[in-house]
Amino acid sequence: MALSLPTRQRRALPSDQPSSSSTPSKPYKKEDKPKRSEEEQQGQNGIGWFLPLFSLGMLRYLSATSNIIHDCDEVFNYWEPLHFLLYNSGFQTWEYSSQYALRSYLYINFHEIFGLPASWLFPDDKVRVFYAVRIFVGVLSVIADATLVVALSRKYGKRLASYALAMLCLTSGCFFASTSFLPSSFSMYAMSLSSGLFLLGKPAFAVAVAAVGVILGWPFSILAFLPITFYSLARRFKPTFLAGALTSVALLVLSVLVDYCYYKRWTSSVFNLLLYNVLGGGESHLYGVEGPLFYLRNGFNNFNFCFILALLFLAFLPIARRKYAPDLLIVVSPLYIWLGFMSLQPHKEERFLYPIYPLVCVAASAVIESFPDLFRDKYNPHDNSWPVLIAKFVRPVVLGLILSASHARTFSLINGYGAPLETYKILEHYDDDVGTGSTLCVGSEWHRFPSSFFVPEYISEVRWIDDGFRGLLPLPFNSTLGGTAAAPPYFNNKNKASDEQYLRDLEACTFLVELQLDRPYPTRGSDLSTWERA
């Protein structure tokens, strides 16, 4: 019986390797390259930071310098209080009365950090200060959206991230919302940054940013941040809970302290706003109501076919489930939650959708990227049949259609509705003709007043004249009554006009800003026949 001993092959030594000169080597083939995991390939071949920062930076600069003001609330609730803090003059709304204290000065102070140095740098040019603050909020948008694009690239590849970058840059909704001085825009920045940090595997930072977006920005946006918050807590409870709790408590305490400094009483504007609109039966319907389809129409106006594709994300999810579930589904889910919730509210405004604007771009990008998956054999990932090839060709065509339609709408709004900003800029050329102490009167165009940043120093006051509007209008901050701490008796929360809001003596007007339309029926406004055109 033969006994065989187990043998072990000796490890090859470097000296055993044949030299390249003595032994002919096999030609190197692409197949011989060591395989990397799919995530490693996407991370190394994905989009770096330079492209999104550069692209978004250019577009946000264009937005900051050319964007119109889409909402009078942006002027009277944010630009005017900022102007008062910088120049000790400006309009006050009833929400800023210390009796109601619905608006947080912490949000205004955050922008004052940049506005104050700008006012020192341009002491004689308030318009430049206005655009400097706009550039500041544009930079916030660039940082947040660039983080989201890089995260998408590392997680899902360059193509999806490139589509999202193009839409974040050029869709009308993102172009206009990105440089609006509004809490809903700030919550939009937080949504982009929080989503990006979540996809990068940093749940604690994602929840902390969400807390900043809710407390410093818009408290109602908490609903949109719930999916990322809950899922992050489920992943890593302790660090995520601590980050969110500490950030929330710190900001709430800071908000109360800031509110006390300005309102001169202990109160919380964050809770006052929630109490008025949610628990206190606030009468937001006094400021207009719309039907349940308002946001669907508005979404299509601002994103055209991109919005339709975004709504189809759930329909594509079964096809691309392996790619997008669960992380991208968690990121995109606020789109449906927020859209459904806000559509049920009677009072609707375009800016209420701002927090989910980046998610519209992400969801639509994922759908476009998944077009070939509709026809690809699921057992053959390398299927290149003619339906798959056609679907691949359709992807850039659809993206081009979306961007072209967005470009058309963006420039139509800028060119068609930019008159208010340009009109008020003309006033700076009349100081030698009328001198100081002039009065600027505004008629039916009060809702297009672009803020006191566009009113030259030689004009001592801006007054409204009666055009038939019977709602409550803003009135100047009254330093005699206490400025920001004042609770003027002429303010109310019922949207009822005050007797003091209109200037009765029209002879006191030096300038009148009014819109004259040649229409066959009577329109609200002032008789311009006795005025000299500028």
C-alpha to C-alpha distances, 138 to 99, 176, 344, 413, nearest whole angstrom: 33, 10, 31, 19
With pLDDT > 70 as the criterion, what percentage of the chain qualifies? Answer: 87
**Which residues are bridge partners to 172 per DSSP?**
none
**Which tens digit of pLDDT belongs to each residue from 13-61?**
444 544 444 444 444 444 444 444 444 454 456 789 999 999 999 999 9
**Which tens digit of pLDDT belongs to each residue from 79-135?**
999 999 999 999 999 999 999 999 999 999 999 999 999 999 999 999 999 999 999
Q: What sign does the dihedral 324-296-404-419 (CA atoms) show?
A: negative
**Which tens digit of pLDDT belongs to each residue from 287-340?**
778 999 999 999 999 999 999 999 999 999 888 878 888 999 999 999 999 999
Query: CA 119, 121, 122: angle at the middle one, nearest 5?
Result: 65
**Which tens digit of pLDDT belongs to each residue from 504-529?**
888 899 999 988 776 554 555 556 66
Torsion of CA 197, 201, 202, 203, to 10 degrees: 90
Residue carrying the six token digits 């909704």: 173
At 1, which helix (H) or strand (E)?
none
Predicted TM-score (pTM) of this structure: 0.88
pLDDT of residue 1: 41
CA dist 434 and 295 (Å) reads 47
In one-letter notation, the amino acid at residue 318 is P
DSSP 8-state secondary structure symbol assigned to residue 116: H
**Which tens digit of pLDDT belongs to each residue from 250-296?**
999 999 999 999 999 999 999 999 888 876 555 776 777 899 999 99
CA dist 228 and 355 (Å) reads 14
384: helix, strand or coil: coil
pLDDT of residue 533: 67
Residue 80 burial (CB count, 10 A)? 25
- The burial class, CB within 10 Å (0-12 / 13-18 / 19+), for 151 is buried
pLDDT of residue 435: 80
